Chains A and B, each alone.
Chain A
Amino acid sequence: MTGWLHPSSWPITVKVPLAVAALMILVGIVLSERVLAHLDESQQRHLRDLAQSYLDGLSSAAAPSILRDDVWEVFDAIERAQALNKSVNAAETIVANADDRVIAASDPRRFPTGAPVPRLVLDQTHAQPFRFDIGGDRAYAMRVLAYPGREVGTIFASFDTSHLASERRGVILTLAATNGLLTFLLAAAGWVLVARMMRPIRVLSDHLGSARESGATPIAGDVVAHSRGEFARLFGAYNELVHSIDQRHELSARLAEEEKLGSLGRLASALAHEINNPLGGIFNALATLKSHGHLESVRAGSIDLVERGLVGIRDVVRSTLALHRTDGSTRDLIPADIDDLGLLVAPEASRRSVTVSIYNGLVGGIPVPSSSVRQATLNLLLNALAAAPPGSRIDLSAHVADGGLLLEVEDRGEGLPAAAAEQLTGASTSRPLRDGSGLGLWMTRRLMDTLGATIAVERPEEGGTIVRIRVPVSRHEVLADVA
């Protein structure tokens, strides 16, 4: 959740409009500040000029009356000055004598004649001729009236500047609204632009994402055709990549098929050999029967010989059928399946003068698919046979332990190469090697993966290789079987 808050994780379609908005806000603030500064300056100057002109008029009209302390004339002068200077919006005007006592004010009820000028009024101007706080509702001005060498009175005036304040607020609102609208429009334009520019990238990333889950598919031709420039080249390169991956997949499948056919061929020749041996004996027995069949002892011996030969052929045929059953049905593994493996590899073993020793520790059915386990174990045995030196021994053991089926194949060859071992254990996810070697191991790995089995490879000090497969079995069913 917090990762989403971090800006670097945001999509570029968000980042660019945000950056545009941030820049626009910055520009808006700077521009607004300049406009407002100019407005404030012009308002202040304008107001100061108006106030000065108001005070000029009033002081020239009232000065003689101030000297005479003529209350009415001063009051009349104030009223006339206010009427004449309507644009300055004089709010309050007080004319005081040299002792800061009111002679007359625009509002005599608040500032009665003869009363001292309130402290507040004296402080309003901070003893400056003019004071205006930007955005305030009032401006204050003060004018000391002096006849050469003598101060005769003071005029205090305040001006209603609420119209200036509201004008300023209006300008601020206009600036904010304009800048806000511009920022929004530019950010939206940025979003649209980036979204358009990013569309080919999204096409590519969507294809790459789906490639991880369901295999790479090329980008549709019309999309590529509508692209220009670097994106057209990028799409082209991607489609070539997908094409080459597909070719590699096809090659791998063909190699697997060839390997299957190859082992089938080897099995077929072994099978023919296996059948050929008893056939030779059977034909010899038949020849003996033809010529010496009338002899009781010879006849019985020959028939026995024919029968044993036919039993041997039947066993071979039956186990081959069991291994290559193609009706798709799955059944549980039974101890005979392991014994059959010995029969299947026996011809190849005798051809290579290798002894195959089988320890079958299974009792009853084991709830794992028999065909996958047998195919995988057969692959391991054939691989061990290929690696075993003549005269050596290969050990296959099968038993149930710790709620799983354990299969162990040990040879005394030169040891499984590291790359092949990695293929087998799943440490390497690479495809079979280009020359087709290691295909049996790769297929074993895939068969065991479907069962959730683990494969371990051990290379003992004294040489050779031990491959251990552990196929998990449901504990309940194992216990049931044991019982």
Chain B
Amino acid sequence: MMGSVGATASRRLLLKQIAATTAYFMASRSYSRASTEELRFGLTPVFLTSDLELLGRLQLYLSRATGLPVTLLTRRTYQEIVALLISRQIDAAWICGYPYVMHEGELQLVAIPEWRGRPLYQSYLIIDADRQGDGLGDLRGDTHAFSDPDSNSGFLVTRAALAEMRETPERFFARTFFTYGHRNVIRAVASGLATSGSVDGYVYEVVAAIEPALTARTRIMWRSEWLGFPPIAAPRNPVDPGRLALLSKALLNMSDDEDGRAVLAMLRLDGFVTRGAELFSPIAAKAALVASAG
């Protein structure tokens, strides 16, 4: 009996082991890239995704600082990157405050960029440089360019402001469209394709410094309050805690390294810091307002 029980138990153990091994192998095959020693880092169009040199330098720095091969993933929309993050297909991603507060239960903060000495930024409403007006109320009937439906500065801030006015973008504006990039919002307003746009204040200032001709055709009509800067987030249950720790360290020490400072200079950032989730409470409040307004 005992032997039988033992044999049965050992058979069960063996079966379990086989199953586990199979599962491991199957899992390792399906997540082959994620589970190998490679750091996968997602980037949203929050900043200048078009700058290949910047991507190359960032990849080089992260790879050297973590000692791991690094793959940078860019997607057209926030949604795609957030989906990769929540489904744990990537180790971490630079996302926006809005998706973070929407998925706070599944995500953890890794680091927050510091801009002009604070981990804060604003949302801007921009219009044609020659146009009059000083508030959102003047934009009724416009063709309005949003950045991304999952962007705080490029959508949520304006959406929440309209909700306070008991309006929705569909009713308030004659037409809206998404450009899936803050720089594209500036282009749309500058070219006249849109008569106004909601844009990330940080991106606008960087573009103004790099491409003054583009922003010269636009004017900042309204600035939002200071809000939490788009953070670097990771799945709450890390894909690989060791890799995440290396990444966190690399980001927080970026300003101490020459290559890191070069990347930060290109990004016009001071460095990365850690902050608690309360930094994004104002964004969460806006999200709640919009959700309650319907």
Residues in A lying within 8 Å of B, measured CB to CB:
70-72, 75-76, 79, 104, 107-109, 112-114
A72 close to B191 (CB less than 8 A): no
B192 close to A107 (CB less than 8 A): yes
Residues in B lying within 8 Å of A, measured CB to CB:
143, 145, 174-175, 177-180, 184, 187-188, 191-194
Closest chain A residue, CB of each to CB of B191: A108
Question: Cβ of A71: which chain B residues have Cβ within 8 Å of it?
Answer: 175, 177, 193
Within the complex, the shortest CB–CB distance from B142 to chain A, in Å, comes to 11
* Contact A113-B175, Cβ < 8 Å, known A72-B184, A76-B184: yes
Interface of B is mostly: mixed
A72 close to B145 (CB less than 8 A): yes
Within the complex, the shortest CB–CB distance from A80 to chain B, in Å, comes to 12
Q: Measured between alpha carbons, how far is A207 from B184 in the docked complex, in Å? A: 95
Question: Cβ of B193: which chain A residues have Cβ within 8 Å of it?
Answer: 71-72, 75, 104, 108, 113
Question: Cβ of A104: which chain B residues have Cβ within 8 Å of it?
Answer: 193
B192 close to A108 (CB less than 8 A): yes
A75 close to B175 (CB less than 8 A): no
Q: Measured between alpha carbons, how far is A114 from B141 in the docked complex, in Å? A: 13
Number of A-B residue pairs, CB cutoff 8 Å, is 35
Question: Cβ of B174: which chain A residues have Cβ within 8 Å of it?
Answer: 114
Q: Measured between alpha carbons, how far is A376 from B38 in the docked complex, in Å? A: 148
Q: Measured between alpha carbons, how far is A72 from B146 in the docked complex, in Å? A: 10
A72 close to B192 (CB less than 8 A): no
Q: Measured between alpha carbons, how far is A70 from B184 in the docked complex, in Å? A: 13
Within the complex, the shortest CB–CB distance from A290 to chain B, in Å, comes to 158
27 contacts between A and B (CB under 8 A): A71-B175, A71-B177, A71-B193, A72-B177, A72-B178, A72-B179, A72-B188, A72-B193, A75-B188, A75-B193, A76-B179, A76-B184, A79-B187, A104-B193, A107-B191, A107-B192, A108-B191, A108-B192, A108-B193, A108-B194, A109-B191, A109-B192, A112-B143, A113-B193, A114-B143, A114-B174, A114-B175
Closest chain A residue, CB of each to CB of B174: A114
Q: Measured between alpha carbons, how far is A71 from B192 in the docked complex, in Å? A: 12
Question: Cβ of A112: which chain B residues have Cβ within 8 Å of it?
Answer: 143, 192
Question: Cβ of B180: which chain A residues have Cβ within 8 Å of it?
Answer: 72
Which of A70, A79, A107 touches B177 (beta carbons < 8 Å)?
Answer: A70
Question: Cβ of A108: which chain B residues have Cβ within 8 Å of it?
Answer: 191-194
Question: Cβ of A76: which chain B residues have Cβ within 8 Å of it?
Answer: 179, 184
Question: Cβ of B191: which chain A residues have Cβ within 8 Å of it?
Answer: 75, 107-109
Within the complex, the shortest CB–CB distance from A94 to chain B, in Å, comes to 12
Question: Cβ of B188: which chain A residues have Cβ within 8 Å of it?
Answer: 72, 75
Question: Cβ of A114: which chain B residues have Cβ within 8 Å of it?
Answer: 143, 174-175
Within the complex, the shortest CB–CB distance from A109 to chain B, in Å, comes to 4
Max chain B C-beta neighbours (<10 A), residue from A70, A71, A104, A112: A71
State the 8 A-B residue pairs at the shortest beta-carbon distance, nearest first.
A109-B192, A108-B193, A108-B192, A72-B179, A71-B177, A75-B193, A72-B177, A108-B191
Within the complex, the shortest CB–CB distance from B55 to chain A, in Å, comes to 20
Q: Measured between alpha carbons, how far is A107 from B143 in the docked complex, in Å? A: 15
Question: Cβ of B187: which chain A residues have Cβ within 8 Å of it?
Answer: 79
Closest chain A residue, CB of each to CB of B181: A72
Question: Cβ of A113: which chain B residues have Cβ within 8 Å of it?
Answer: 143, 175, 193
Closest chain A residue, CB of each to CB of B179: A72
Closest chain A residue, CB of each to CB of B76: A73
Closest chain A residue, CB of each to CB of B188: A72
